[in-house]
Structure 1
Amino acid sequence: MTIAPRNRTITLSEEDIQRYRCDLIELNKKTSLDGIINSVINQDIVEALDFLPSGFVDLLFIDPPYNLNKDFKANSFKQLPIWDYAEWMD
């Protein structure tokens, strides 16, 4: 596959993937601040929100879906009407 000259995508080797994967967490129950501090949560934000401590963050950067029809490996995303998407983002 040819990569565009200005593409800044980071490609990890299989060794890198295995090394960094052990540092990722996924939430499946309510957690305390101590349980997530300095951690990377690798999970759908909608699934994770219910397990995060109330009021633990002042500002959160997330990567919401782009509201496009897209198939990505085992995941499918369907575009929502703009008002539904805006409500979901709110």
Structure 2
Amino acid sequence: MATATFKTHDTSYRQYNGERVTVVSKLNPASYDADEVGPMYNIDFADGKPTEAFADELTDWDVNDSDSEDIRTAAAASAQLPRT
């Protein structure tokens, strides 16, 4: 599975900033306002806690050939996102 480094401004998850997370899957765009916020992903933190993450909260992706096309595309796009 793909991994990425997590960074957020959300105070509920700041303790996870800098942590490598497992990117489980891309969320179905019909399940949230994808046009407004862009792609989102199901992730698992190292302690097993699952959550959802915005694309700009995930950097330094590590993917392999067995990852879905959505995940590999997200990893490539992540390298082009501006960082705050």
State the TM-score, normalized to the length of structure 2. 0.26
Which structure carries more relative contact order (alpha carbon 8 Å, separation 6+)?
A: 2
**Greater share of strand:** 2
State the TM-score, normalized to the length of structure 1. 0.25
